[in-house]
Copies of this chain bind each other. A is one copy, B any other.
């Protein structure tokens, strides 16, 4: 593998593990057993590394959230979208942790991320529309659908932060992908009241699969 790619991979790994704030360019170089000079030969600065990692993340999510216009949406599609989005969040989980700082330090990233958010919101809206067309949920006024899409986005992007801050994982940072995917339960909760009688049971069963085993230890 090319050094450049190794740097990106190691950075992502370290960022995810320890948080971007706790990982310096020297750490990354040391982790790869290369010199700082080598790292700076491939990237102008830390921001550039982060930006490239974001581009990968963006590409991944854009790929998953490419909603086909031609055919009707099934429950399997819905499951796939949800699973994929949470997989993406997991693989690039450092990103949302320090998002505000990252956007403040890199105007390109700020601009791109804003557009990325808008595309995601658009995809969520589309999914809602196709769910309504497929008779999974009831039709809703545009205004309500818009606000609901935004709430879905808020729940999706911040479920992990909730787990990491409110959960009882003091010891090691033992967050797992399985726990993260319990966010799907929360997302589907938003749709519960809108389910059609025809689909209610099936969606509720799907939701049940992601139900947290035990929410949290008592204080």
Interface residues of A (CB under 8 A from B): 19, 21, 97-101, 103-104, 107, 110-111, 113-115, 117-118, 144, 146-148, 150-151, 153-155, 157-159, 161-162, 164-168, 170, 185-186, 189-190, 192-194, 215-216, 219
Contact = CB atoms under 8 A, between A and B. Distances in A.
Contacts of A190: 151, 190
Given A114-B219, A186-B154, A100 B161 contact: yes
A148 B154 CA distance: 14
A59 to B, nearest CB: 17
Contacts of A103: 164-165
B166 A118 contact: yes
Identify the 10 closest CB pairs spanning chains A and B, nearest first: A193-B193, A158-B158, A147-B189, A117-B166, A115-B219, A154-B155, A97-B100, A154-B158, A118-B219, A21-B101
A75 to B, nearest CB: 19
Contacts of A111: 170
B144 A154 contact: no
- Main SS of the interface on chain A? helix
A47 B154 CA distance: 29
A115 B161 CA distance: 16
Contacts of A216: 118
B151 A100 contact: no
Nearest to A173: B104
A107 B165 CA distance: 11
B162 A114 contact: no
Contact of A192 (B144, B150, B155): B144
